[in-house]
Amino acid sequence: MIDYIKQIFALEDFKKRFFYTLFMFAIYRLGSHIPLPGIDTTALQDFFKSFEGTIFYLYDIFSGGNLARMTLFALGVMPYISASIMMQLLTVAVPELQRLAKEEGDYGRYKINQYTRYLTIFVAFVQSIGIAIWLQNQVSPKGMPVVDNPGILFTLTTVIALVSSTMFLVWVGDRITEKGIGNGMSLLIFAGIVAGFPSAAIRVWSMLQNGDISPFAVVGILLLVIAVVVGIVFMQEAERRIPIQYPRRQIGRQEVVGSSSYLPIKLNPAGVIPIIFAQSLLIIPSTVLGFIQNPIARVLHDAFNPTTIPYNILYVAFIIFFTYFYTAVLINPVDVADNLRKGGAFIPGVRPGQDTQKHLEYIINRLAFVGALFLSVVATIPIFISLWLKVPFYFGGTTALIVVGVALDTINKLEAQMLQQKYTKYTRRVR
């Protein structure tokens, strides 16, 4: 492990990217400690203690604790994630967007990214207005108002601060993707989740010392975390290899013997994206219902608690839908079959063209089913096990899946970069 780290830091380009990423993380964490103007932080802290175990608490985990502290980055990058979901759905439904994505190349991707950012501003604007109005009507359990001076000025200030901060985080994520390590948006979510680990560990230790939690429950949690991490690593790294055969070719007077290869498809093709998408969509109705002062709305809002059966049924349904949807976006059997035919390659025992397409669809659908089942189990089972162990805070496999998935993706990109650097040095020596 030490030798591996030394090899990574021996790459000059990696060191620049690594420290650039750390610099961006430092900016992110700095903004996470700047509260919105006009907020009584003491009253806010007392007020949010009553939200443990709810969807707000889960959203706070994704935002790195920014929601509970109501900082500049309270919305995090979730508006961008929500906008990305909407754009991907619109790309499938709207022919013009579909044409941009498939036929216009880099320009089409640029335009879709531009539309996604416009949509992000709209989503952040709506959410920030809702948060501003909602905060002005809340008081702490001690009777202290959360907002010192409610009114139009507070609403305007909050909306401007939250929308601009969200777009700044989108810019930070883009810069990390371009000049740093890995996918910027995923790493920001990763950083927000990991930032809460030390305080959670300290809290568990203090609860264990005070007798609020039994040693059996702590051991059970540790074993559960290890099992979840091992399962995630196995599923994320496992792949189905479809054999590919290339026929013999005649190049001039020389006949080249046909070669064989394989087409790798991940056992969980969609990765962690369905979990993030499903979580983002479930936050929307819970947030809207929380703003409505009505008994029926309150009952529906309580039904969206992550520990309830209705919430988890809807959660699993969204995960299954997005697993199939995102797998279809990532892997198009028609395009793969067409590319194989153009390259003169074929799958042994399967005719090129439509038969290859059907064969690939059959394999991809089975893999998507396994991936959807795995994601559903990881996302829901740990919650009920933590309830059985009577853990007095939210614990789920969703955060573990995001953290491990992003870490594995970053490691794979680092290995690819190391391999590229080695080939570059080798070609320079040959020249």
pLDDT tens-digit map of 113-171 = 888 899 999 989 988 888 888 788 777 777 778 887 888 888 899 899 999 999 999 99
Average pLDDT in the chain: 77
Same domain, residue pair 274 and 126: no
Q: What is the pLDDT of residue 164?
A: 92
User: Which range, 60-74, 149-163, 206-220, has the best average confidence (pLDDT)?
Assistant: 149-163
Per-residue confidence band for 327, with pLDDT thresholds at 50, 70 and 90: confident
Say how far apart CA 184 and CA 80 lie, in whole Å: 12
Same domain, residue pair 163 and 234: no
Tell me the pLDDT tens digit for each residue of 266-282: 888 887 778 777 877 77
How many structural domains comprise the chain?
2
Q: What is the pLDDT of residue 68?
A: 73
Same domain, residue pair 274 and 390: yes
Specify whether the CB–CB gap between 40 and 145 falls below 8 A: yes
What's the farthest any 2 CA atoms get from each other in the chain? 91
Same domain, residue pair 402 and 278: yes
User: Which range, 99-113, 121-135, 249-263, has the best average confidence (pLDDT)?
Assistant: 121-135
Same domain, residue pair 382 and 257: yes
Same domain, residue pair 284 and 396: yes
Domain of 233: which CATH number? 1.10.3370.10
Specify whether the CB–CB gap between 266 and 238 falls below 8 A: yes
What global pTM score does this model have? 0.74
pLDDT above 70 (res 315): yes
Q: What is the pLDDT of residue 335?
A: 81
> For residues 261 and 397, which has the higher predicted lDDT (pLDDT)?
261
Tell me the pLDDT tens digit for each residue of 12-38: 677 788 888 888 888 888 888 888 888
Q: What is the pLDDT of residue 360?
A: 87
Range of the domain at 166: 1-176+187-195
Judge whether 181 lies within some domain. no
Judge whether 182 lies within some domain. no
Say how far apart CA 402 and CA 191 lie, in whole Å: 11
pLDDT above 70 (res 51): no
Same domain, residue pair 25 and 172: yes
What one-character-per-residue DSSP string does 178-242 give?
Answer: HHSSS-HHHHHHHHHHHHTHHHHHHHHHHHHHHTSS-HHHHHHHHHHHHHHHHHHHHHHH-EEEE
